[in-house]
């Protein structure tokens, strides 16, 4: 039996799965592959690289995809919202910042607004500012986030926002996670780590190899890699990555890293270009244990969705 939720109905999806708009990694080819497989593909608009966005949007071809932005970064280059809306996206996904400056324009374009939050308080704000779907992101997620766990956060947000559908994110990379999220009352899931090492992801091949060999036991949350990349993230959000030699070198010494930032930033850029996982960040979450190989994105979507369907059917058999 297919899974039907407000998310699948709104976007006519086969599976209630959204590709996380991972900055620099979720490009047009990956978003399109997820869309063709029955999920909702999103391009990661990230830190406001207009040239990158102009290049990746056409690479989705005829597949209708959405676009995601880091909201505080979009505020510095609001013209990128117009660029995205000109491509008539299926959805706009905003996270980490104030929706209000953008919600009106998105609504006027007739595009559904998905807002990602990390606290119940922010969920209430997003609901008041016009979000049509709210993503409750737990701290298990790869990339940036906050401190609350997915399991208690999702139902708390559902209770707080009334009839607005809530989507779960953080620590979900297989059918078990999707089935669990639906049991919590979520309308679907956002997956990033599951696709970070997919064949279509723009992740460096050496970084993909490091990711699939990793364990969630070895992930850490800090601001070290943001300092190295010279990205001025608001302090309330830290980034979850694999621990590596660079992190161990600078952990607990952010002021020293700031003082040596010119040299270390170049070192980091060189490592990222070379796929050197001892220095460059491998941006995955605690669910990386569930990712064992580099696979096509369509295979990942179908695997998660179909496994969830089987597990839900099996659970129904337990109820008498």
Residue range 297-320, pLDDT digits in tens: 999 999 999 999 999 999 877 776
Cα gap 76→72, rounded to integer Å: 7
pLDDT along the chain (320 residues), means of 10: 93 97 96 98 92 94 94 95 95 95 96 98 96 97 95 98 97 97 98 97 97 97 95 94 96 93 94 97 97 97 96 82
Sign of CA dihedral 256, 261, 201, 312: positive
Cα gap 238→122, rounded to integer Å: 17
3-class DSSP state of 115: strand
* Strand order from edge to edge, sheet including 219-222: 143-145, 238-242, 219-222
CATH class of 6-202+291-318: alpha beta
Tell me if 85 sits within 8 A of 106, measured CB to CB.
yes
Residue 320: its pLDDT value, please? 65
Q: In the numeric block, which tokens belong to residue 153?
A: 């956060």
- Return the closest-CA partner of residue 144 out of 238, 275, 66: 238
CA 104 distance to own-chain centroid: 23
Residue range 85-142, pLDDT digits in tens: 999 999 999 999 999 999 999 999 999 999 999 999 999 999 999 999 999 999 999 9
What predicted TM-score, i.e. pTM, was given to this entire model? Answer: 0.95
Cα gap 138→151, rounded to integer Å: 8
DSSP code of residue 153: H
So where are the chain's domains? Answer: 6-202+291-318, 205-274
| SS3 of the chain: helix, strand, coil, percent, to 5 | 45, 15, 40
């Amino acid at each position: 039996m297919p899974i039907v939720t407000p998310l699948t109905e709104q976007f006519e999806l086969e599976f209630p799965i959204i590709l996380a708009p991972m900055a620099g990694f979720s490009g047009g080819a990956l978003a399109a592959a997820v869309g063709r497989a029955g999920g909702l593909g999103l391009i990661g608009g990230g830190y406001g690289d207009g040239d990158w966005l102009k290049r990746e949007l056409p690479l989705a071809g005829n597949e209708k995809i959405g676009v995601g932005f880091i909201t505080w970064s979009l505020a510095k280059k609001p013209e990128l919202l117009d660029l995205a809306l000109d491509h008539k996206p299926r959805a706009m996904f905003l996270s980490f910042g104030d929706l209000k400056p953008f919600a009106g324009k998105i609504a006027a374009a007739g595009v559904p607004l998905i807002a990602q939050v990390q606290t119940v308080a922010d969920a209430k704000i997003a609901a008041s500012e016009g979000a049509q779907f709210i993503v409750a992101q737990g701290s298990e997620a790869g990339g940036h986030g906050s401190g609350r766990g997915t399991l208690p956060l999702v139902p708390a947000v559902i209770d707080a926002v009334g009839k607005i559908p809530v989507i779960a994110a953080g620590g979900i990379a297989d059918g078990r996670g999707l089935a669990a999220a639906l049991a919590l009352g979520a309308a679907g899931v956002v997956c990033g780590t599951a696709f970070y090492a997919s064949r279509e992801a723009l992740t460096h091949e050496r970084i993909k190899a490091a990711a699939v060999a990793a364990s969630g036991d070895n992930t850490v949350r800090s601001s070290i890699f943001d300092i190295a990349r010279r990205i001025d993230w608001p302090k309330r959000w830290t980034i979850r990555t694999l621990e590596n030699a660079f992190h161990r070198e600078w952990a607990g010494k952010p002021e020293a890293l700031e003082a040596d930032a010119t040299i270390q930033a170049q070192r980091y850029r060189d490592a990222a270009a070379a796929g050197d996982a001892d220095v460059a960040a491998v941006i995955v979450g605690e669910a990386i244990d569930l990712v064992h190989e580099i696979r096509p994105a369509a295979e990942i979507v179908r695997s998660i969705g179909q496994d969830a369907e089987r597990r839900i059917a099996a659970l129904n058999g337990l109820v008498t």
